[in-house]
Chains A and B, each alone.
Chain A
Amino acid sequence: MSASKEIKSGDVLLELDGIQMSFGRVCALDGISIKIKKGEIHSVIGPNGAGKTVMMNCISGLYNPQKGSIHYKGERINHLKPHDRAKLGIARTFQKVEVFGGMTVLDNIRLGRHIHYKSGILSGAVYLGKTAKEEMEHRKFIEEEIIDLLEIEHIRDKPVGMLPYGLQKRVELGRAIALEPELLILDEPLAGLNIEEVEDMARFILDINQEKRWKITCLLVEHDMGVVMDISDNVYVLNFGNMIVDGTPEAVQKNPVVIKAYLGEEDLYATRK
């Protein structure tokens, strides 16, 4: 990977400092600061329109915040384009699945490894030696590490556009981890899934976070409080672009401001546990 330096578990991987992002006179993010340490799972929660997805877009480079800085491994990355940030090891999934519908599952995952392939236009057109060998090596990696982990063997040759929603989400996760990222941004990975699929997805997230092979730091945006409180190391609560609370799941659950703004009254919230 082209990352400048290796960092140890427990060091700060991503740091947002005073991010401000407004669209016209609507202030979507107002002075957001977070610190994510390597190896942790952090979650962002908040009501609709709180600015969660804007925050993710700022990190992955689709939006450029007007104020504040984004540091990744201690380097300022504000000026980098999305594809350059991907090369540093930041991958993401989207709230609405944004898979490549016309490509097969295998090709989607291969595309996730784009930055690890080397072949150019001439060697690709000839497809002998280097390119063919490279394709085989990556195929082996994809089959053994990703398809096996996500249990999608049976659909590997199907066009993704024809798959049900839950499987598309899984393929999107596969595509993101194929990049072998250090920071994975998951924008509502559980939205629209049934209970069984939610359990599977939560297991995959824990797997890629904890297995020695992956050790991916995750930044999660999610509305499913049960999962968020179970798997997160730290929870941020956004409301109208402001960070209202930043703390451990237990602290957040007990915080009266959060209960008022998002979780709702005690007895209502009980059904969502």
Chain B
Amino acid sequence: MATTFLPCGVYHENYKQDQAWWQTKFIKSKMFLLFISLFFIIPWISDTYWLSIANLIGYTVLGALGVQLLIGFCGQVTLGHAAFLAVGAYVSTLLVLEFPWPALLVEWGLAYPLSILISAIAAGFWCVLFGLPSARVKGFYLILTTMAAQFITVDFVITQYVSQIGGRGQAFSLPPGTIKVGPWVIDSDIKVYYMMIVLVILCVVGLVNLLRSRVGRAWVAIRDNDISAEVMGINIIKYKLLAFFVAGFIGGIAGAVWISNLAAISPEHFPWFLSLWLVGVVLIGGAGSIHGTIFGSIFMVVVMELLQMAVIPLADTYPKLLVDFLFIKESAFGLAICVFLIFEPNGLAYRWWQAKNYFNLWPFSY
């Protein structure tokens, strides 16, 4: 966000300090506490149920980061991002199950990490394919062409053809023990959690770094004003496709990581609603903010879980609530987006920024 307030008596003496991420001791210790709680306190106090929710949040963050990059930072609205999650998940699954890995790699537990990388690259290129129309069309038309990604990838290619590989017909089951990272077999929520948190941190750090270097500035410039961006020497088509590549890459990581949490994957894990959901997360968190992606993911996942908790005790009296829970969930999602667009169009990230400012300036708010 815009400006950071420095406490009294703290001055920047060189450009390096001024461009640093964490500029004061207070922020540094705050971030240190955050890391401690992410790596030690949360896994320690949570039971399996809350860990699975944390994993869901991590998955949503990874999925929404790509959408945030496209919508919030490059101005290319996308409504088909679940397709790239699906590509990541399927490529990774197929590699783990079908690829003749050298025995040594499997033994060292490198097959799955390598498959994550390969599937991320594959999803990146698949995303570039569907980003090609962005060279020509903008706005509403681009939304429709990105929706094509969803229907072509998931409903056509994966359902009709990929699912037939090995004569399975519908779902790929992942036998226990196939997902192995180094010496650890990923078979419990806590292990998924640690893998997830490391990847979320890597992706967030990588994306934030990109956004403060040459490539990211070009993306934001294209979002704000594509004509003057072009006159300033930015090859617009190249950078748009680069944005699609990075978004697909992160989406591919999300999909590939998510299979460690599943016993089987099927096309139903990547419905069009998931694409819409990711866009909703970005809108609620605040478009154009990395904080926003994380806040939006936490908010949406936790709200849905709370809704579920509220519905279960009521189910004895109103059994229909349980039967129709999917519809309740979707209505709540729609309602949340409406409420946010009306009352807080800048999203949760803006609220967070306001709250921080309040305490930075307290007790004199001027």
Contact = CB atoms under 8 A, between A and B. Distances in A.
B230 A99 contact: no
Contacts of B207: 125
Contact of A86 (B209, B225, B231): B231
Interface residues of A, number: 45
Contacts of B236: 83
Contact of B214 (A62, A101, A119): A119
A35 interface: no
Contacts of A158: 2-3
Contacts of A179: 232-233
A40 B177 CA distance: 74
Nearest to B242: A121
A86 B232 contact: yes
A9 B96 CA distance: 65
Contact of A135 (B206, B210, B213): B213
Contact of A99 (B210, B216, B225): B225
Given A87-B233, A119-B214, A121-B210, A62 B2 contact: no
Interface string B155-184: 000000000000000000000000000000
A86 B2 contact: no
B343 interface: no
A107 interface: yes
A32 interface: no
B364 interface: no
Contacts of B19: 135-136, 139
Interface in A81-133: 81-83, 86-87, 91-92, 94, 98-104, 107, 110-112, 114-115, 117-121, 123-127, 131
A83 B227 CA distance: 10
Given A60-B231, A114-B234, A124-B209, A107 B220 contact: yes
B218 interface: yes
B15 to A, nearest CB: 5
A157 interface: yes
Contacts of B215: 119-121, 124
A103 B232 contact: no
A143 interface: yes
A124 B235 CA distance: 17
B147 interface: no
A11 B289 CA distance: 49
Interface in A159-212: 159, 175, 179
Nearest to B224: A100
A102 B288 contact: yes
6 contacts: A60-B231, A83-B235, A94-B228, A126-B206, A126-B209, A136-B15
Interface of A: 60-62, 81-83, 86-87, 91-92, 94, 98-104, 107, 110-112, 114-115, 117-121, 123-127, 131, 135-136, 139-140, 143, 157-159, 175, 179
